[in-house]
Homo-oligomer: A and B are copies of this chain.
């Protein structure tokens, strides 16, 4: 997990791999101007150091029966460590919750959730939020449009 400084070859590789992790190393090698083995060694190093966390297939929720998505803002009754841990555990174990953040401000958590339909969401919200006495309020923002799909982390300095 040691983070070495990234040179411009590494940054270019990260840019390319964030767009498409499936392309042959030989193609990447051409694109960055290194030989395939040199490229391969760099990619391996980026994985080992944790700069590349993992390589995954992105599945379209809509195509597999999850046409709705929501952003949910949760406020707790109390913010003690035990309550926070308990809530995080719940969120991590719920498959429909795709992302979750513990945040500052008026709310304590922001969640991104998918649902099969409104009824499905309502069931989940009742079960996870309304029935949980540690939760003071929850606010549901229904996603109308995905404006920007998960985008590459900038590596070539903005």
Contact = CB atoms under 8 A, between A and B. Distances in A.
Interface of A: 3, 6, 14, 17-22, 49-61, 63-64, 66, 69, 71, 73, 88, 91-92, 95-107, 109-110, 114, 139-155, 158
For the complex formed by this chain, how many copies does it contain in all?
Answer: 2
A145 B61 CA distance: 25
Contacts of A3: 63
A91 B147 contact: yes
A146 to B, nearest CB: 6
B14 A56 contact: no
A3 B63 CA distance: 7
B14 A141 contact: no
B64 A53 contact: no
B57 A55 contact: yes
A56 B59 contact: no
Residue with the highest number of chain B CB atoms closer than 10 Å, among A56, A98, A139, A150: A56
